[in-house]
A and B are shown apart, each in its own frame.
Chain A
Amino acid sequence: MRSGDFKQSYGELVALTDSRPVWLWSAILVVALIAAPYMLNSYALSFLIIILITGVGALGLNILTGYTGLISLGHVGFLVTGAYAYAVTVSKYGMPPIVGFLAAGIVPALASLVVGAPSLRLKGLYLAITTLAFSFIINTVILEARTLTNGARGISVQRPEIFGVSFDSDTAFTHLCLGFAIVTLFATLNIRRSRVGRAFVAIRDNDIAARVMGINLHAYKLFAFVTSAFITGIAGALYGIYLSFVSVEGFPFLLSIEALAILIVGGLGSALGAVLGTILIVLLPEATRFTFSLFSAQMDALFSTGAQELKSMLYGLVIILFLRFQPRGLVGAWHDIRRTWVNWPLRY
C-alpha cells in the first residue's frame, strides 16, 4: 500500500505523473477516443467534436486565467481572430491548411501583444474590463476590414486536407481535433511544470513577492497572453472549420462567459479541471433537456424555442452554484473523493 509520496530527485517531483496506472488508463482513454467516431452516431459525434474543440480553447484560457491569474472576459476575441486568420489564409488566398493553422495561432498571438501591453499596468478588474473592450473592438475591426474579411457576410470554410490526408468526413475531423486536443493538453501540462509555469503561478499567488524573487512580471505576463491567445486562436480555427462558416455572429460574447464557466466548474488553475469542466459544460444543456423531457413534452417544447436563453441561464446558475458550494471545482471534488477512497476508514 502506498503510504505517501516520497520523491528523491527534482525530476521525479515535476514528472507528469508517478503512477503507471495513470499512464495506462490515459492510453486506454486515447484509444477509446480514436475508436469512438466509428461507434457513435453523428449526433453524439458532434458533441465529441465540440468537447474536443472547446477543450483546446479552455486549456488556452486556463494558461492566462488559471495559471497566471489574469482574468480575461474577452477571450472570444482571440477565438474569432483565429477563425478569421484561418479562413482568410485558406479560403480566400488558397494557402495550405497547415499555414492556415499557423496563422490562426500567430495572428491572435500578435493581437494579444496589443491587449497585453496596456494590461501590464492594469490589475484585476480593470484588466478584465480592458479585455472585454478588446473583444468588442476586434469585432468592429473585422466588420470594417471588408476587403480582407468580407465584413458581415462572413467567409465559408472547407474541411482541410493536410499532407494528402483529407479531413472531410466527421470521423477524420474528430481525429484531427483529438490530435490538437492531445498536443494542447501536453503543451499546457509541460508549461505548468517548467520554470515558466512556476513563474506564472508565482505571479498569480502574489505578484509583488514574485517580482521580489526576480521574476520579470512584464515578460511573463506578456508570455502568458501570447501563449493563451495562440492556443485559443487554434481552437477558433477548428471551431470555424466545424461550423464551416466564419462570421462575427458565430462567436457571440456568451462564449467568453462559457469559457470562464468551464474553468470555474472544473477548478481554476488545473488542466484536468479544464478538461472536466469542458465535458460538463458542453453536455449540461443537453443533459438538462433530456431530464426535463422525461417529465413533460411541454418542457421539451420550451427547450426548442428558448434554447439559447436556457443555455445561458444554465451557465449562470452553474457558475453561481459552484462558486458558492464547491469553489475548487470538479477537480477539488475529485481530490476529496480520491483521498476518502484511499484512506478509508481513516479520516487521513
Chain B
Amino acid sequence: MEYLVQLVISGLAIGAIYGLIAMGFAVIYKSTGLVNFAQGEMTMIVAYVAWTISTSISGNVFVVAFGAILAAILLGLVIERIVIRPMLGEPVFATVMVTIGLAVILRSSINFIWDAYPHGLDLGVGRDIIRFGNIGVRTGQIAVIATLLFLLAAIWAFFRYSKFGIAMRAVAADDRTALLMGISATRVHAIAWAASSVIAGIAGVFFAISYDISPAMFQLGLKAFPATILGGLDAILGSGLGGLLIGITENLAGGYLGSGMKEVAGFVMIVVVLMIRPFGIFGERDIERV
C-alpha cells in the first residue's frame, strides 16, 4: 500500500511536469491551430539557460527564475518571428513540419552550445523532504503540482473571459475572419508562442530541480504528447489533467510491470483512448462542413 501511494505521488509530480508541457502544446494549438513539435526542446533549452545562470551569475532562486522566464519569452518570440511567422497562411501540414525541423535543430544545438553530460540544477530549494506518516514528499514535487493547478486555473480563465483570450481562440478557429474583425493575428501568434515557451520553461526548471538536465531531456516533449492527446489538443484543463493521469499510469506501469512498460505506458494509453474518442477525452469534436 505504501509502495502504491509512493508511486502515485511521484507519478503526480512527474505528471505535473508533463501536464505543464502539455499545456504549452494546448496554448499554441488553441490560438494558432498547430501542434508545436519543438515543445520538449524549448523546455530543455530554458532549463539549460537556467542552469547556466545558476552556475555563472547567481544561484539565488529568484534571479534564476526571473532569468529563465525572460529567456523563455525571448526564445518564444524569436522562434515565432523567424520560423513561424513566414509560414502564416501556409497549410497546417507545412507549418507542423517546420516545427519538427525546428525541434531537430534545437535538439542538436544543445551539444554545440553546452555539452553532452548531465548536470544538476541546485538552487538549494526543492530537495527537502516533508514526511506525511511514512510517505516522504519532496518540496519541489509539491511546488510543481501547485504551480500546475494555479496555471491551469489562470490560463483557463484567460481563454474563457479575457478579451485577448477570446481573440486568440478566434484566430485559431479562422485566421482570415479574425483578421477581418480587426484582430492582429501576428500579435496573437507571438504572445501564444511566448506564453507557451514560458510554461514549457517552468516545466523544464522544475524538472531540472527534481532530476537532472541532459541532452536527452527533449524526450519530456514526447512524453507530454500522450497527455495533450488524452486531454484533447484544444483543451487546456484536459491537457493538465491528462499529464497527471499519464504520470500516474506511467509510474504504476513502471512499478508493477517493469521499466520497459514505463516508457510506453502513455503511448499505449493514447492509442486505446483515441480508438474510443478520436478527439481526446476533453477535446471538442471537429464538425466539418463541405
Binding site for B on A (CB under 8 A): 71, 73, 118, 121-126, 128-130, 132-134, 136-137, 140, 143-144, 208-209, 254, 257, 260-261, 264, 306, 308-310, 312-313, 315-320, 323-324, 327
- With the chains together, A257 CA to B103 CA distance in Å? 10
Cβ contact within 8 Å between A315 and B90: no
Nearest Cβ on chain A to B92's Cβ, whole angstroms:
7
Q: Identify 13 residue pairs between A and B in the complex whose beta-carbon atoms are under 8 Å apart, listed by A's number.
A: A71-B93, A118-B274, A121-B275, A126-B280, A132-B225, A140-B263, A144-B260, A209-B290, A310-B108, A313-B104, A313-B109, A317-B105, A319-B101
Binding site for A on B (CB under 8 A): 35, 83, 86-87, 90, 92-94, 96-98, 100-105, 107-109, 111-112, 222, 225-226, 229, 233, 260-261, 263-264, 267-268, 270-271, 274-275, 278-280, 286, 288, 290
Cβ contact within 8 Å between B96 and A125: yes
- Residues A143 and B260 in contact in the complex (CB < 8 Å), given A121-B278, A123-B286, A260-B97: yes
- With the chains together, A300 CA to B284 CA distance in Å? 52
* Chain A residues near B93 (CB-CB < 8 A): 71, 124
- With the chains together, A63 CA to B90 CA distance in Å? 23
- B interface majority secondary structure: helix
Cβ contact within 8 Å between B98 and A136: no
- Residues A309 and B108 in contact in the complex (CB < 8 Å), given A121-B278, A130-B271: yes
A129, A208, A261, A318, most chain B CB atoms within 10 A? A129
Cβ contact within 8 Å between A316 and B112: no
- With the chains together, A312 CA to B96 CA distance in Å? 17
Cβ contact within 8 Å between A316 and B225: no
Cβ contact within 8 Å between A122 and B267: no
Cβ contact within 8 Å between B229 and A324: no
Nearest Cβ on chain B to A153's Cβ, whole angstroms:
15
Picked from A143, A208, A254, A264, the residue with its CB within 8 Å of the CB of B97 is A264
In the complex, besides A125-B96, A317-B101, 19 extra interface pairs with C-beta distance below 8 angstroms are A73-B100, A122-B274, A122-B278, A125-B35, A129-B35, A129-B270, A133-B264, A133-B267, A136-B222, A137-B267, A137-B268, A137-B271, A140-B264, A260-B100, A261-B101, A313-B109, A316-B108, A319-B104, A324-B98
B93, B107, B286, most chain A CB atoms within 10 A? B93
Nearest Cβ on chain B to A316's Cβ, whole angstroms:
4
* Chain B residues near A317 (CB-CB < 8 A): 101, 105
Cβ contact within 8 Å between B102 and A124: no
- A interface majority secondary structure: helix
Cβ contact within 8 Å between A323 and B94: yes
Nearest Cβ on chain A to B102's Cβ, whole angstroms:
6
Nearest Cβ on chain A to B58's Cβ, whole angstroms:
30
Picked from A257, A260, A309, the residue with its CB within 8 Å of the CB of B111 is A309
**Nearest 9 A-B pairs (CB), nearest first?**
A319-B101, A133-B267, A316-B104, A309-B108, A316-B105, A316-B101, A320-B101, A121-B278, A118-B275
Closest residue of B by beta carbon distance from A69: B93
Cβ contact within 8 Å between B271 and A312: no
Cβ contact within 8 Å between B261 and A140: yes
* Chain A residues near B87 (CB-CB < 8 A): 323-324
Cβ contact within 8 Å between B83 and A309: no
Cβ contact within 8 Å between A320 and B286: no
- With the chains together, A137 CA to B260 CA distance in Å? 10
Cβ contact within 8 Å between A121 and B274: yes
A122, A133, A261, A324, most chain B CB atoms within 10 A? A133
* Chain A residues near B280 (CB-CB < 8 A): 126
Cβ contact within 8 Å between A315 and B104: yes
- Residues A324 and B86 in contact in the complex (CB < 8 Å), given A121-B278, A130-B270, A313-B108: yes
Nearest Cβ on chain A to B168's Cβ, whole angstroms:
19
